[in-house]
Chains A and B, each alone.
Chain A
Amino acid sequence: MMNYFPDEVLEHVFDFVTSHRDRNAVSLVCKLWYRVERYSRQRVFIGNCYAISPERLIARFPGVKSLTLKGKPHFADFNLVPQDWGGYVQPWIEALARSRIGLEELRLKRMVVSDESLDVLSRSFTNFKSLVLVSCEGFTTDGLAAIAANCRFLRELDLQENEIEEKKNHWLGCFPDSCTSLVSLNFACLKEINLAALERLVARNPNLKSLKLNRAVPLEALQRILMRAPQLVDLGTGSFVLDRDSDDSETYRKLRTTILKCRSIRNLSGFLEVAPHCLPAIYPICVNLTYLNLSYAAGIHGSELIKLIRLCGKLQRLWILDCIGDKGLEIVASTCKDLQELRVFPSDPFGAGHDAVTETGLVAISSGCPKLNSLLYFCQQMTNAALIAVAKNCPNFIRFRLCILDPTKPDPVTMQPLDEGFGAIVQSSKRLRRLSLSGLLTDRVFLYIGMYAEQLEMLSIAFAGESDKGMLYVLNGCKKLRKLEIRDSPFGDMALLRDVGKYETMRSLWMSSCDVTLGGCKTLAKKMPRLNVEIINENDQMEFAPEDSQKVEKMYLYRTLVGPRKDAPEFVWTLV
Chain B
Amino acid sequence: MEKEGLGLEITELRLGLPGGSAPILVDKNEKKRVFSDISGDLDNSSTDWKLTQTKNQTVGWPPVCSYRRKNNFQEKDRLETSKMYVKVSMDGAPFLRKVDLSMHKGYSDLAEALEKLFDCFGIGESLKDMENSEQVPIYEDKDGDWMLMGDVPWEMFIESCKRLRIMKRSEAKGFGLQPKGSDHKGNSKDVAK
Contact = CB atoms under 8 A, between A and B. Distances in A.
Nearest to A488: B35
B60 A463 contact: no
Contacts of B84: 244, 275-277
Residue in A241, A244, A544 whose Cβ sees the most chain B Cβ within 10 Å: A244
24 contacts: A77-B66, A78-B64, A161-B65, A163-B67, A243-B85, A273-B80, A274-B82, A277-B84, A298-B72, A298-B77, A298-B81, A303-B155, A345-B64, A349-B62, A350-B53, A407-B47, A487-B60, A544-B13, A544-B14, A544-B25, A545-B13, A546-B28, A547-B28, A550-B28
A184 B63 CA distance: 30
A222 B163 CA distance: 25
B142 to A, nearest CB: 9
A111 to B, nearest CB: 15
Interface string B41-56: 0000001011001001
Contact of B34 (A321, A347, A513): A513
Contacts of B116: none
A550 B29 contact: yes
Contacts of A481: none
B79 to A, nearest CB: 9
A245 B87 contact: yes
A541 B23 contact: yes
A29 interface: no
A551 B29 contact: yes
Given A273-B80, A350-B56, A513-B33, A543 B87 contact: no
Interface string A253-283: 0000000000000000000111111000000
A53 interface: no
A462 interface: yes
A161 B102 CA distance: 28
B66 A243 contact: no
B95 interface: no
A80 interface: yes
A30 B148 CA distance: 84
Contacts of A349: 62, 64, 69, 73
Nearest to B46: A406
Given A78-B65, A378-B62, A541-B26, A274 B78 contact: no
A405 interface: yes
B93 to A, nearest CB: 17
A245 B165 CA distance: 13
A297 interface: yes
B85 to A, nearest CB: 5
Given A462-B61, A542-B23, A544-B23, A488 B82 contact: no
Contacts of B163: 244-245
B67 A488 contact: no
B47 A161 contact: no
Contacts of A163: 67
A575 to B, nearest CB: 16
Contacts of A352: 50
A246 B67 CA distance: 37
Contacts of B14: 544-545
Interface of A: 75, 77-80, 135, 161-163, 189, 241, 243-246, 272-277, 295-303, 321, 345-352, 378, 403, 405-409, 436, 460, 462-463, 487-488, 513, 539, 541-547, 549-553
B61 A407 contact: yes
Contacts of B78: 298, 347-348
Given A245-B87, A349-B73, A462-B61, 5 more contacts: A135-B65, A244-B85, A244-B161, A348-B78, A543-B28
A298 B66 contact: no
Contacts of B50: 350-352
A541 B66 CA distance: 27
A297 B83 CA distance: 12
B77 A539 contact: no
Contacts of A405: 49, 62
Contacts of A296: 68, 71-72
B24 interface: yes
A391 to B, nearest CB: 23
B60 A244 contact: no
Nearest to B16: A544
Contacts of B77: 298
Contact of A77 (B16, B65, B71): B65
A487 B86 CA distance: 49
A243 B69 CA distance: 28
Nearest to B144: A246
A162 B60 CA distance: 19
A80 B60 CA distance: 7
B82 A403 contact: no
Contact of A403 (B29, B57, B63): B63
A135 B155 CA distance: 38
B187 to A, nearest CB: 26
Given A245-B87, A551-B29, A299 B64 contact: no
B147 to A, nearest CB: 15
Given A79-B57, A243-B98, A299-B82, A347 B72 contact: yes
B91 interface: no
Contact of A161 (B34, B61, B67, B81): B67
B68 to A, nearest CB: 7
B109 interface: no
A539 B26 contact: yes
B71 A275 contact: no
Contacts of A189: 67
A545 B12 contact: yes
A78 B83 contact: no
Given A350-B49, A542-B23, A276 B63 contact: no
B61 A276 contact: no
Contacts of A298: 72, 77-78, 81-82
A163 B66 CA distance: 10
Interface in B6-26: 12-16, 23-26
A135 B67 contact: yes
